[in-house]
Chains A and B, each alone.
Chain A
C-alpha cells in the first residue's frame, strides 16, 4: 500500500513479510472474506483486510517471532488463543480479532509491560511515535495493579557511545526486533539478548558499548525499535518531524530511497524508505546518519573570485562571479584557441546538472572537453560493456541477486562500498547461494557471520585478466560452455576466435599460477562452480576497472557471462557496482568527451545533427580531452581554463604532484562545490554548490534506476547548481533557459532514445524507472538483453593478459592497492564533516605481519610509503586481511597523500587510472613526508586567504 499521509515514504505495517505463492487461500477475518497467498500469516491477512491486530514484536520487515503475546486471536474450531503473527492462514479459516477474552488478555499483557517501563511519555523522545504507547491506548490500559516498587529496569544506564543514536535499556521491552533487524536486515549479527528471563537485555557483542562493538550503525535496529530504547540523537534533540519528503541518498551507487523527516526546513532525521525499490527500507551509516555535512559551518555560501591563487578571496555577487569567469574563459579562448577550456562534472551531481554542464561545454564553449569523475572509476565499464553487449550499463536489478545460485564478486567490497546491497547479497548467501570472491584482500564477505566464500581467489594485484582467462580456459576445455546460448545469441566468428585463444595452454590456470598466485586447482573449482550453476551472477567494482587492463577485464567478464549463458534473465548477469550515486547517470548524460547523451559518438553526423537542431548551434565532431589528458594538455600549455562542478580532482586523481603542476598552469579554474575543497585551493572563482537536500533532480543508480532527488530546503548559496550553469552559459553568449529541472529532463527525454518515456510525472507515479524507458518499454527495463543483445549479437573479445608496468623491483618490492571503507565516501569532503570520522579519523596503511616484521614495523608506527611518483607517511596497521607483498590504504583524507603515491598509469582504452596497483617500498619513519609538510603549509596559507576574504559589499 502506498503512503497514506500525503508526505510519501510511509506505508502500512502488515506485521509480517509478504509471501509469494501460486496457491491462494480464502479466509474470513472479523466477517470480512479475502484471498491471500498460501503461507501468509493471519496478522498480515487481517491487515490486508484493513483490520489492525495489536502487536509489538511483529513488523513486516522481519520474520515473525511470536514473543509479545499481544497479537493473539481466536480462530473458530481451534483451541486457545494463537499468536496471529506465527499462525498461517488455512482454507476456510474464520478469525476473530476482537473478543472480550482477547481484550482481557491483551490488557493483562500490556499491564505487565508497563509495570517495568518508565511513565515519562510526555518527556520521552518517542512521544508521538511510540508503538508501546499506541498499544497501551489500543488495548485500553487504565491501571497497573502491580505497582512500581518491585524489581525493575528503570534505572538502567544509557549507552550513548554511538554518535548517532542512544540505547536506553530502561525502555526496552525485549521484543527482539533490533536483534532480528541486525541479523535479517543487515546481516551483521552484532546484537544479541544477553541473560535470561528478567535479566534479558539487548547487548551489542558481549556486553560492549555500541561504539566498541561490531555494530556498523546501519540504523536497522533503531528503525525496528518500537519504543525510545534505540533512538536517533537528532530526534532526541529536536523532537518529532512535522512533514516528510521522499528523496534519494547522495552517497554510493545503490541509490537508496530515503524519507527526509523535516521540521520546517530543518532535517530532523533521514529514514530509509520502505517503498524504496533499490533498498526496500534498509540503509547504511552514511545515508542514514551522515548528512550533517549539509549544514556544516565549513559550507561556502557566497560566490568568490581572485586574480591569482596567491591572492585572498573576494566575496562578490553571483552576477560578478559569473561575469568574471565568462570573461576569463573568453579571453583564454581568444588567446589559446577554443579548445583551451573545458568542464568536469561529477557523479555527485544530478542527471539534469550533468546534462547542462556537457551542454554548456558543447554549445557555449564550442568543444567536447567535458569529462566526469566516472573517468577515474567506471569508464572501462562503459567501454567494455558497450563493445561486448551493446550497452554501457549493468544488466540486472539488485533484487535479481535473490535468484542467483552462484555469486562471483570480483574486485568489489559490497559490505563497505555498497552496504545496503551487500546486506541483500548476504541474505541470499545465508539462503544457500554459493560464493566466489576474486580479490587480493580477505574482504568481509570471505568470512563473516554465517557467510563463507566457497572459493577465495586471492590473486596478486594486476592479474585480473589472467584469472579471467584461466577461468575461461577451464570452461572451454572442460566442455562447460552453454553452446545453445552462444549459437543463438552471439557472433559466431568472434566466439571461435575467443574459444581458440582461451584454449591455448598459456591461458591454463596452471600456466598462469605463477603470475596470479592463485592455486590452479582453486581456479578450476571456481570455474566449474560458476559455469555449472543454474543462475550465476557476477558483481564487480573498481578492483576490476582501475587497472591498466580495466576495459579488458570488463570484456573478459562479459565473455564469461555469455559463454555460460548467464545473461538476459533474473539471477544472472554482469553487475558493475558503481562507486558514487550518479556514476551511471553522469555517463548516460553524455559527460564524456567522445559521447553525446545516450552513448552516441560525437562523430555520428545524424545524432550530432539532432542535437545541433535542438540547441541551435554547430557542434564539434572531434572528441575532446579526458581528465588525465586535460592535465597533460595544461602542462603542454594548450589547456588553460576549467569549470569543475562537484568534483575534487586534486585529492581524488592519481599522481597528485602531476595534477597540482597542471592546476598551477591554469589561468582560470572555476570550482562549484559545497566546501573549499583541495581543488578550490587552486581556483580563481568559487561558486557555492547546493547539497542534495537543496535541489530537485534525479540520480541513476547502478541498476539503471532513475530516482527523484527532492528539494527539502532552499540552496544555502541562493541557486541550484543547474541555475549557475545556465547563468555561465548565458554569460558565455549561449542562452539556455529552464524554469526547473523537470524541463531539463523533458529535453533529455526528447533527445535520448533510452529516455523517451521518462518524465517527472512518471517518476512520481512509479517511484523510480529503470532505463531504457521508451515506446518499447513504457514502464522501464529491469533486466536487459532478454531476447537479444542491445548490439544484436553478443560479441566475444580476445582478452590477452598484459602485465602492468607497475612491477615490483628491489627498490619497490611491495604492491599498494587502494580502496574505501564503510564510514567514508570518496574524498571524504562530506563524511569527514560528520561523526563518521569517529570510526575512521585518518587513512592508515594495512600491511601483512610478515612484511611488517621484515621492516621492524609495529602496529601504529608511522611508515613512509614511496613509489616512483612520490612518497607519503601514514600510520601502519598490521592485518592478516592482506597477503604478503601487498599493502592497502584509503584516500578519504587530503593530507594522507594516498594519491601522491599512485601513478599516471591508466587503462589502455579509457585512461581510467590504475589506482589498484602501485609498486612501493614501506619503511618506518618518524615524521610526515616532505610533500605532506609542503602541502600542509600550502593548505594553511589557502585557509588564511579564505579567512582574509573581503566580504561582499552591502547592496
Chain B
C-alpha cells in the first residue's frame, strides 16, 4: 500500500482523537479505530512503517501503533 497515503490517513485519525482530554484513552481509540476499519494489509504496512521510524506520523499515532502492536497485527493465516 502507498505509505504516504496511509500516513496521511493515520494522522487524520490521530487529529480527531488527540482532542480527547484523556490521552491514554486517545491512544487506545486510535489503535481501536485502525483495528476496526483498516484492512490487514493496511495495518501491516503502517506497523512496518513505524518499525522503520514512522516518518511523517504524528507522535500520538506512532505511540498507538507501537503500544497496541499486538492488537493491530493481523492474525497469521
> A339 to B41, Cβ gap below 8 A?
yes
- A 553-596 binary contact with B (CB < 8 Å = 1; else 0): 00000000000000000000000000000000000000001100
Tell me the nearest residue of chain A to B41, going by C-beta.
Answer: A638
Complex Cα gap A595–B5 (Å) = 24
A817 at interface, CB cutoff 8 A: no
**Chain B nearest CB: distance from A770 CB in Å?**
28
> A636 to B39, Cβ gap below 8 A?
no
Tell me the nearest residue of chain B to A549, going by C-beta.
Answer: B16
Complex Cα gap A638–B13 (Å) = 24
Known contacts A497-B21, A632-B1; A908/B13 CB under 8 A:
yes
> B38 to A798, Cβ gap below 8 A?
no
Known contacts A622-B75, A636-B2, A798-B21; A909/B38 CB under 8 A:
no
**Chain B nearest CB: distance from A498 CB in Å?**
10
Among A8-16, A102-110, A623-631, A926-934, the one that faces the other chain is A623-631
Enumerate chain A residues within 8 angstroms of B20, measured Cβ to Cβ.
497, 798
B48 at interface, CB cutoff 8 A: no
> B1 to A800, Cβ gap below 8 A?
no
B74 at interface, CB cutoff 8 A: yes
B47 at interface, CB cutoff 8 A: no
Known contacts A622-B74, A632-B2, A635-B2; A802/B9 CB under 8 A:
no
B69 at interface, CB cutoff 8 A: no
Complex Cα gap A624–B13 (Å) = 18
- A 713-731 binary contact with B (CB < 8 Å = 1; else 0): 0000000000000000000
Enumerate chain B residues within 8 angstroms of A904, measured Cβ to Cβ.
5
Enumerate chain B residues within 8 angstroms of A911, measured Cβ to Cβ.
9
Enumerate chain B residues within 8 angstroms of A910, measured Cβ to Cβ.
37
> B37 to A623, Cβ gap below 8 A?
yes
A501 at interface, CB cutoff 8 A: yes
Give the contact-size bracket for chain A. 35 or more
Which of A548, A623, A798, A800 has a CB less than 8 Å from the CB of B39?
A623
> A603 to B39, Cβ gap below 8 A?
no
Enumerate chain A residues within 8 angstroms of B18, measured Cβ to Cβ.
800
> B19 to A798, Cβ gap below 8 A?
yes
Complex Cα gap A562–B35 (Å) = 29
B50 at interface, CB cutoff 8 A: no
- A 536-547 binary contact with B (CB < 8 Å = 1; else 0): 000000000000
B15 at interface, CB cutoff 8 A: yes
Tell me the nearest residue of chain A to B10, going by C-beta.
Answer: A908
Enumerate chain A residues within 8 angstroms of B12, measured Cβ to Cβ.
548, 802, 908
Which residues of chain A in 606-661 are interfacial with respect to chain B, using CB atoms and an 8 Å cutoff? Answer: 622-626, 629, 632-633, 635-636, 638
> B16 to A909, Cβ gap below 8 A?
yes
Which residues of chain B in 35-71 are interfacial with respect to chain A, using CB atoms and an 8 Å cutoff? Answer: 35-42
Known contacts A497-B21, A909-B33; A800/B16 CB under 8 A:
yes
Known contacts A339-B41, A632-B5; A623/B16 CB under 8 A:
no
A552 at interface, CB cutoff 8 A: yes
Tell me the nearest residue of chain B to A911, going by C-beta.
Answer: B9
Which residues of chain A in 766-801 are interfacial with respect to chain B, using CB atoms and an 8 Å cutoff? Answer: 798-800
The DSSP consensus for interface residues of chain A is loop
> A909 to B37, Cβ gap below 8 A?
yes
**Chain A nearest CB: distance from B15 CB in Å?**
5
**Chain B nearest CB: distance from A908 CB in Å?**
3
> B5 to A623, Cβ gap below 8 A?
no
Enumerate chain A residues within 8 angstroms of B37, measured Cβ to Cβ.
594, 623, 626, 909-910
Enumerate chain A residues within 8 angstroms of B16, measured Cβ to Cβ.
549, 551-552, 800, 802, 908-909
**Chain B nearest CB: distance from A388 CB in Å?**
14
Scoring B1, B39, B41 by chain A CB atoms within 10 A of each residue's CB, the highest score goes to B39
Which of A369, A633, A908 has a CB less than 8 Å from the CB of B1?
A633
Complex Cα gap A220–B20 (Å) = 51
**Chain A nearest CB: distance from B75 CB in Å?**
7
Enumerate chain A residues within 8 angstroms of B40, measured Cβ to Cβ.
339, 622
Tell me the nearest residue of chain B to A802, going by C-beta.
Answer: B15
Which of A601, A625, A800, A805 has a CB less than 8 Å from the CB of B36?
A601
Enumerate chain B residues within 8 angstroms of A594, measured Cβ to Cβ.
36-37
**Chain B nearest CB: distance from A336 CB in Å?**
11
Enumerate chain B residues within 8 angstroms of A805, measured Cβ to Cβ.
8
**Chain B nearest CB: distance from A617 CB in Å?**
16
A301 at interface, CB cutoff 8 A: no
> B19 to A633, Cβ gap below 8 A?
no
Enumerate chain A residues within 8 angstroms of B1, measured Cβ to Cβ.
629, 632-633, 636, 638
A906 at interface, CB cutoff 8 A: yes
**Chain B nearest CB: distance from A807 CB in Å?**
14
- B 1-30 binary contact with A (CB < 8 Å = 1; else 0): 110010011001101101111000000000
> A908 to B42, Cβ gap below 8 A?
no
Enumerate chain A residues within 8 angstroms of B33, measured Cβ to Cβ.
909
**Chain B nearest CB: distance from A463 CB in Å?**
15
- A 497-508 binary contact with B (CB < 8 Å = 1; else 0): 100110000000
Tell me the nearest residue of chain A to B40, going by C-beta.
Answer: A622
Tell me the nearest residue of chain B to A369, going by C-beta.
Answer: B39
**Chain A nearest CB: distance from B46 CB in Å?**
12
Enumerate chain A residues within 8 angstroms of B35, measured Cβ to Cβ.
603
Tell me the nearest residue of chain A to B6, going by C-beta.
Answer: A632
Enumerate chain A residues within 8 angstroms of B15, measured Cβ to Cβ.
800, 802, 908
**Chain B nearest CB: distance from A750 CB in Å?**
26
Which residues of chain A in 899-924 are interfacial with respect to chain B, using CB atoms and an 8 Å cutoff? Answer: 904, 906, 908-911
Enumerate chain A residues within 8 angstroms of B39, measured Cβ to Cβ.
339, 369, 593, 622-626, 629, 633
Complex Cα gap A805–B12 (Å) = 10
**Chain B nearest CB: distance from A641 CB in Å?**
15
- A 793-822 binary contact with B (CB < 8 Å = 1; else 0): 000001110100100000000000000000
Complex Cα gap A594–B74 (Å) = 14
> B19 to A501, Cβ gap below 8 A?
yes
> A623 to B38, Cβ gap below 8 A?
yes
Enumerate chain B residues within 8 angstroms of A339, measured Cβ to Cβ.
39-41
Which of A603, A629, A800, A909 has a CB less than 8 Å from the CB of B13?
A909
Tell me the nearest residue of chain A to B19, going by C-beta.
Answer: A800
Complex Cα gap A800–B17 (Å) = 9
Known: A623-B36, A623-B38, A636-B1. 12 other contacts (CB 8 A): A497-B20, A500-B21, A622-B39, A623-B37, A623-B39, A629-B39, A633-B39, A635-B2, A636-B2, A798-B20, A800-B18, A800-B19
A-B contact pairs, 23 of them (CB 8 A): A339-B41, A369-B39, A552-B16, A594-B37, A622-B39, A622-B40, A623-B37, A623-B39, A624-B39, A626-B37, A629-B42, A632-B2, A632-B5, A633-B1, A636-B41, A798-B19, A798-B20, A798-B21, A802-B15, A805-B8, A908-B15, A908-B16, A910-B37
Closest 3 CB pairs of A and B: A908-B12, A800-B19, A798-B19
